[in-house]
Chains A and B, each alone.
Chain A
Amino acid sequence: MVQSLDTGTAPRSWNKRGQDKARRLAAVAPWLSGKVLPSSRIVEALEVLVHSGDRVALEGNNQKQADFLSRSLAEVDARKIHDLHLLISSISRREHLTLFEKGIARKVDFAFAGPQSLRVAQLLEDRKLEIGAIYTYVELYARMFVDLTPNIALVCAEKADAQGNLYTGPNTEDTPTIVEATAFRQGIVIAQVNELTDELPRVDIPGSWIDLVVVADRPFAIEPLFTRDPRIINELQILMGMMVIRGIYERHGVTSLNHGIGFDTAAIELLLPTYGASLGLKGKICRNWTLNPHPTLIPAIESGWVESVHCFGSEVGMEDYIRARPDVFFTGHDGSLRSNRVLCQLAGQYGVDLFIGSTLQMDPDGNSSTVTMGRLAGFGGAPNMGHDPKGRRHSTPAWLSLITADSEVVRGRKLVVQLAETYQKGGEPVIVESLDAVQVGKNANMPVAPVMIYGDDVSHVVTEEGIAYLFKADGIEERRAAIAAVAGATPVGLKANPRKTEDLRQRGIVAYPEDMGVRRGDAKRSLLAARSIEELSAWSGGLYQPPARFRTW
């Protein structure tokens, strides 16, 4: 009936996406055996399946990389396929940017570009690359379900069977999320696998979500990103770790938490079984973690501190150790880790009491950023973990302990802790008058400066000088004074007024080591539960098998 009002036009099709998908898949059907495409046909197949202007989700996660598919995509004829819009969580391989140099891709939305951050900045300047936005992981994936649904997903897994069921192994990471966003809105999902097999150890992604499987020319690339060699931890980091344990974890009763990646947080993990135990804190703090399987957590796990760890991804060398500790880690019926970045990010936002991480720069208001001149690195997950989620409704002692207002209606606060040594190696101050990110944002015409963690979300700042309890500061002037009081000999620290600092110490808004009973002389490497990768491996009973680059024996 409605159509009669609209005479002369054909009835609307409500399944254009599905019809388009069917046409594309029909063009490669003759090459397939079931869902399996011969590896030698991959470039040809991509030239048929991908259309210019498509949104392509390329699985370049924090760790595992669909590198056979990205290398193949970089080989398509740019006259046939061009101006793709790439959705990629981590720009970490050369060919990711070759796509832009060749004109195959034009626009990118991403979360992290660590190893390629200099080239991203250069391509942007040369106008060969257009940035949609620089995200956090969950934001990018959230938009895949809103206005950035992929036409094509290029993902990777360890094994597939003939029906297209996928086994990801411990590095499940982002694959289920990318596939779900694509498959259920009639996009095409192509999975590279290391091998085809009749029986999978477990099914991480059902075959009905997958359109094509192709065996890669070599196993997918993966980096050990979360391994910190205890040999490199210095006494400054140990002192900061002691202060965190005493002045924050003990003080606020922090039982659930996330640690960023860095030597500062690795030091804390290695101090729990020694310094933490000497304070009688075992079982009282640091029980439930949202964390990648950091090797430096092994001594705390072995000493019985850790009840549970849910992981964003895995870590190279930790597979057998995890398999042998199923009470602690989330594992499948096959025994291996099941990680999931989006769910772990969600857990880290809403489930835990505390985030702690390091920064490269912090301004006098406590805003911090790892973006520095000439580098567009992005922030990965830090901004999600490092903020106070106002939608949280469950309370814990730690969350409640940050309430300062005296009112019938109040909310608690997540502890967001920023660690900063006042100076980097090479004499550059970390606490600065203005973040480089401000200028970088202007140069790149960003609508706002790329701040990693906003100062108003930060509850505590820890430097080697002491702790600033920012959540207790009254107003912006007092916050600034508290940060200056722990900013050491940086230009910001030199402006601290000694009388004001004394007042802040009296009121417990600033604490120096002596104020929390921490002796600087105790900050020795002998206090670390393990002082080398070899000792970590020994703690694990040989189950942790460090990658060759970390072996010195």
Chain B
Amino acid sequence: METFTFDYPADQKATARAHVGVVGSGDLEVLLEPSPDQTAHVRINTSVDGYGQVWKNVLDRFFTRFRKAVRIEINDFGATPGMVALRLEQAVEESRQ
């Protein structure tokens, strides 16, 4: 079990919430809600240790395209980086509806 937190600069306001995925084997859940400050905050709880750099790589890529002030909580149960990226994009899609 490991926990990471990351912050990214944001310049757009978020309004909606989203919840996608489940904490099942090889999967994860992403909870997304607006953040009151000008920053995006990410908190990751993962069952698999030792992948801090890979998490950072996935999030760095995501936040080059996403600039909203949100608070994201990730509860991971061994998802691949591809699955993580998909869930993040799905959360964004859902929050736009």
Contact = CB atoms under 8 A, between A and B. Distances in A.
A489 B57 contact: yes
Nearest to B96: A521
Contacts of A229: none
Contacts of B90: 520-521, 523
23 contacts: A234-B83, A235-B86, A236-B86, A239-B86, A422-B82, A423-B80, A423-B81, A423-B82, A425-B26, A464-B82, A465-B82, A488-B61, A489-B57, A489-B61, A489-B81, A489-B85, A494-B61, A498-B64, A520-B89, A520-B93, A521-B93, A521-B94, A523-B86
A493 B85 CA distance: 13
B93 A421 contact: no
Given A521-B93, A521-B94, A427 B48 contact: yes
A251 interface: no
A490 B27 CA distance: 19
B58 interface: yes
B92 to A, nearest CB: 9
Nearest to A463: B82
A490 B80 CA distance: 11
Given A488-B85, A520-B86, 6 more contacts: A234-B26, A424-B80, A427-B80, A464-B82, A464-B83, A523-B90
Contacts of A94: none
- Chain B, interface size category, equals 20 to 34
Contacts of B78: 425
A519 interface: yes
A523 B27 CA distance: 14
A182 B75 CA distance: 61
A236 B85 CA distance: 10
- Chain A, interface size category, equals 20 to 34
Interface string A452-493: 000000000001110000000000000000000000111001
A493 B61 CA distance: 10
Interface in B54-94: 54, 57-58, 61, 64, 78, 80-83, 85-86, 89-90, 93-94
Contact of A421 (B57, B64, B80): B80
A233 to B, nearest CB: 12
Interface of A: 234-236, 239, 421-425, 427, 463-465, 488-490, 493-494, 498, 513, 519-521, 523
Interface of B: 20, 26-27, 48, 51, 54, 57-58, 61, 64, 78, 80-83, 85-86, 89-90, 93-94
Report whether over half of chain B's contact residues are helix, strand or loop; otherwise say mixed: helix
B49 to A, nearest CB: 11
Contacts of A425: 26, 78, 80
A423 B20 CA distance: 21
B58 A519 contact: no
Given A421-B80, A427-B80, A489-B54, A464 B48 contact: no
Contacts of A423: 80-82
Nearest to B51: A427
Nearest to B20: A521
B70 to A, nearest CB: 17
A236 B93 contact: no
Contact of B80 (A236, A239, A494): A236
Contacts of B48: 427
A494 B57 contact: yes
B33 to A, nearest CB: 18
A422 B81 contact: yes
Contacts of B81: 422-423, 427, 488-490
Closest 3 CB pairs of A and B: A423-B80, A489-B57, A464-B82
A466 to B, nearest CB: 11
Contacts of B54: 427, 489
A479 to B, nearest CB: 21
Contacts of A463: 82
B45 to A, nearest CB: 17
A504 to B, nearest CB: 15
Contacts of A422: 80-82
Contacts of A521: 20, 90, 93-94
Most buried by A among B51, B80, B83, B93: B80
Most buried by B among A234, A422, A494: A234
Contact of A236 (B20, B64, B82): B82
A521 B19 CA distance: 11
B85 A464 contact: yes
A235 B64 CA distance: 24
Contacts of A490: 81
Given A427-B48, A489-B58, A421 B82 contact: yes
A421 B85 CA distance: 12
Contacts of B82: 236, 421-423, 463-465, 488
Nearest to A239: B86
A286 to B, nearest CB: 25
A137 to B, nearest CB: 32
A523 B83 CA distance: 12
